[in-house]
Chain A
Amino acid sequence: MKLNAWFGILEIGEDGKVLSADLLSKDVRELAQRSLTLRESRQDPPPAGFDLRAAALGCGFIEFPAEYDSLLHEVALEAVKIQVSASLTPDQRIIQAVEALDDINETANSLSERLSEWYGGYFPESGLGGEALAFFVAKYGSRENVGPDNPLYAKALDSMGANLEAEDEALLRGFAESVCSLYERRRQIETYIESSMERIAPNLNLVAGPMLGARLISIAGSLEKLALFPSSTIQVIGASKALFKHLRSRAPSPKHGVIFSHPLINTAPWWLRGKIARALAAKLSLAARLDLYSGKKDPALAEKLEEKVRQIRASNSRPPQKKPESGAKPGAKKKRRK
């Protein structure tokens, strides 16, 4: 019987004794490559209980027992290094970008609030916030630098804000510049995600849009995992906390996964959202599988989805008479009717 060991191909008899051996050279890189091939093919593995160490020593592949460990160690290490460096696939890069985007958003929001609080002492009437305020502060510093052609000129003139002294002004400007560059970084990452999504998941990109598509991949862990999820799971991805609660305490099953940010759902009347979510999830699942297995873009996907949504809308044009979906949170009913 023929078997593949990491150090060669062996022929063994009925009794498990090695009859002949085709030994490889002790080249760590080559041995590691072969080990990876065997890992995939799982071809002719040694039978249960086969003593590889004794065989390696018996056939003369190694000269003394300790050499078995040192060589195997290097081969195993080399093989995992190759695997780890190959694991940073394009979808994994998108996931890193999505997570970086979340971190940037969180940081930009909290720094923007700080700036608004801080600069508010000097020009509370500006009415600006977020990126607009950061841009304004970085550009002008003190409100006294606002020229007559600026729409905020009048407000700046009779502001009740305190006088901004040079030292504080420098500090605030620097801070505002940092906030501005965070917003810039955010746009850069978004552009990256958009172009990567079109390249590695064109169908998901088409149906979900780049940000939602990227987020789905990120939460699933990889494009492959997303493609293997049933569409009922895709429908609730991102609602895992609510899902867990549902399982533990019979709380209503969650209907609000991340796909609810999709325009087809968030612009639909409340009584259609569940139905549209189901249709959307089915198409997303199909799109992810197309991306994984064929990689070719199918433009008809978006049209079919829109057609399906038109049907749903047409056959359910009025809200149901009785109470809304049982999944609605108590107290949330009124809001959702708006």
Chain B
Amino acid sequence: MPEIRTLSEGVFEIIKDKKQLATRNLDPGRTVYGEKLIPVEGVEYRAWDPRRSKLGAMVLKKFDIPLKSSSKVLYLGAASGTTVSHVSDLVSEGAVYAVEFSARSMRDLIGLAARRKNIHPILADAGKPDSYAHLVEPVDVIFQDVAQPNQAEIAARNAARFLKKDGYLMLAIKARSIDTVANPKQVFKEEVKKLEQAFEPEFEILTARDLAPYHEDHLGVLAKLKNKTHLE
């Protein structure tokens, strides 16, 4: 019998021959991107490939994952839903607002969302949160993976509108999308600084780690809103 360890709420490590990250499948019998289904004692798990998912890599890099079964999540840069599917598994009683601006990716995401009631797909530019403000409620977590040069600003704009006071921002920063030639370490430093002070609201960085070897030249960031009560 494989052994199952809980890494954080809804995130498991199944130990058989080797270790395998997994979530509990909310849509039993179905795989989303060719991942393995692993039944253990009547429960079906889905293997979570950290090389295909930055959130998965963040789990293995020992980030505290602030997702609970009841969490509301705003997911920016949903693409065809590889990671969104695992977030959907995690927040089984909550909701994922999945924003993506490529119609082609949305075509695939629709197939996923149609089968999972907690995914609310939105085809819009994450840089214009006003355009989906009529749809999105305040959220516990913003997860962002848009691979855009202005990602810090996008994060701030969305956090200003949708992030609860005690909510968390999780961000994957791709060095090459900011600057194709500069040294990634330098790019990361500058991006973190932008998150801390370039826009309103400002963030307090809780964890920032390179996502190698799962993703080259990517930085994972966990942050919350800077506590400014002393100013008020």
Chain A residues near B (Cβ < 8 Å): 4-6, 35, 38-40, 42, 45-46, 48-53, 69-70, 72-73, 76-77, 79-81, 83-84, 87, 244, 247-248
Interface of chain A, main secondary structure: helix
Given A76-B113, A83-B106, A84-B106: 8 more A-B contacts, CB < 8 Å: A4-B134, A46-B134, A48-B161, A49-B164, A76-B121, A76-B135, A77-B113, A87-B104
On whether the beta carbons of A6 and B122 are closer than 8 Å, the reply is: no
Smallest distance from the beta carbon of A91 to chain B beta carbons, Å?
13
Partner of A80, one of B121, B137, B161, B162: B121
Stretch at the interface among B41-49, B124-132, B143-151: B124-132
A5 to B162 alpha-carbon distance, docked (Å): 14
Give the interface centre of B113, B119, B131, B137 by most chain A CB atoms within 10 Å.
B137
Within 78-136 of B, Cβ neighbours of A (below 8 Å) are at 95, 103-104, 106-107, 109-110, 113-114, 117-124, 128, 130-136
Give the interface centre of B134, B162, B181 by most chain A CB atoms within 10 Å.
B134
Q: Which residues of B contact A5 (CB under 8 A)?
A: 134
A148 to B183 alpha-carbon distance, docked (Å): 72
Smallest distance from the beta carbon of A65 to chain B beta carbons, Å?
10
Which residue on chain B has the smallest CB distance to residue A49? Answer: B138
Partner of B130, one of A42, A81, A87: A42
Chain B residues near A (Cβ < 8 Å): 95, 103-104, 106-107, 109-110, 113-114, 117-124, 128, 130-138, 160-162, 164, 180-181
Smallest distance from the beta carbon of B174 to chain A beta carbons, Å?
16
Which residue on chain A has the smallest CB distance to residue B120? Answer: A76
A38 to B130 alpha-carbon distance, docked (Å): 9
On whether the beta carbons of A77 and B135 are closer than 8 Å, the reply is: no
Q: Which residues of B contact A69 (CB under 8 A)?
A: 95, 117-118
A81 to B137 alpha-carbon distance, docked (Å): 22
On whether the beta carbons of B119 and A73 are closer than 8 Å, the reply is: yes
28 sampled A-B residue pairs with Cβ under 8 A: A35-B134, A42-B130, A45-B130, A45-B134, A46-B134, A48-B160, A49-B138, A50-B138, A52-B134, A53-B137, A73-B118, A73-B119, A76-B121, A76-B122, A77-B110, A77-B120, A79-B122, A80-B110, A80-B121, A80-B123, A81-B110, A84-B106, A84-B107, A84-B110, A84-B123, A87-B104, A247-B180, A247-B181
Q: Which residues of A contact B133 (CB under 8 A)?
A: 42, 45-46
A284 to B31 alpha-carbon distance, docked (Å): 46
Interface of chain B, main secondary structure: mixed
On whether the beta carbons of A87 and B103 are closer than 8 Å, the reply is: yes
On whether the beta carbons of B106 and A35 are closer than 8 Å, the reply is: no
Q: Which residues of B contact A70 (CB under 8 A)?
A: 117
Smallest distance from the beta carbon of B64 to chain A beta carbons, Å?
24
Smallest distance from the beta carbon of B83 to chain A beta carbons, Å?
18
On whether the beta carbons of B161 and A72 are closer than 8 Å, the reply is: no
Which residue on chain A has the smallest CB distance to residue B164? Answer: A49
A46 to B103 alpha-carbon distance, docked (Å): 26
On whether the beta carbons of B114 and A39 are closer than 8 Å, the reply is: no
Q: Which residues of A contact B106 (CB under 8 A)?
A: 80, 83-84
Q: Given A46-B134, A248-B181 in contact, is the A39-B120 Cβ separation under 8 Å?
A: no
On whether the beta carbons of A39 and B181 are closer than 8 Å, the reply is: no
A83 to B105 alpha-carbon distance, docked (Å): 12
On whether the beta carbons of B180 and A77 are closer than 8 Å, the reply is: no
Which residue on chain B has the smallest CB distance to residue A89? Answer: B103
Smallest distance from the beta carbon of A217 to chain B beta carbons, Å?
16
Smallest distance from the beta carbon of B121 to chain A beta carbons, Å?
5
Smallest distance from the beta carbon of A141 to chain B beta carbons, Å?
45
A20 to B113 alpha-carbon distance, docked (Å): 33
Q: Which residues of B contact A73 (CB under 8 A)?
A: 113, 117-120
Smallest distance from the beta carbon of A133 to chain B beta carbons, Å?
38
Which residue on chain A has the smallest CB distance to residue B179? Answer: A247
Q: Given A83-B103, A84-B123, A244-B180 in contact, is the A77-B134 Cβ separation under 8 Å?
A: no
A90 to B76 alpha-carbon distance, docked (Å): 28
* Minimum-distance CB pairs A-B, first 10: A87-B103, A45-B133, A76-B120, A42-B130, A83-B123, A52-B137, A80-B121, A39-B131, A53-B137, A38-B134
Give the interface centre of A6, A84, A244 by most chain B CB atoms within 10 Å.
A84
Partner of B180, one of A6, A48, A248: A248
On whether the beta carbons of B161 and A49 are closer than 8 Å, the reply is: yes
Smallest distance from the beta carbon of B76 to chain A beta carbons, Å?
15
Which residue on chain B has the smallest CB distance to residue A5? Answer: B134
Q: Which residues of A contact B107 (CB under 8 A)?
A: 84
Which residue on chain A has the smallest CB distance to residue B132? Answer: A39
Which residue on chain B has the smallest CB distance to residue A3? Answer: B134
Partner of A51, one of B109, B118, B119, B138: B138
Smallest distance from the beta carbon of A286 to chain B beta carbons, Å?
27
Q: Which residues of A contact B122 (CB under 8 A)?
A: 76, 79-80
A38 to B132 alpha-carbon distance, docked (Å): 8
Q: Which residues of B contact A81 (CB under 8 A)?
A: 110
A42 to B121 alpha-carbon distance, docked (Å): 18
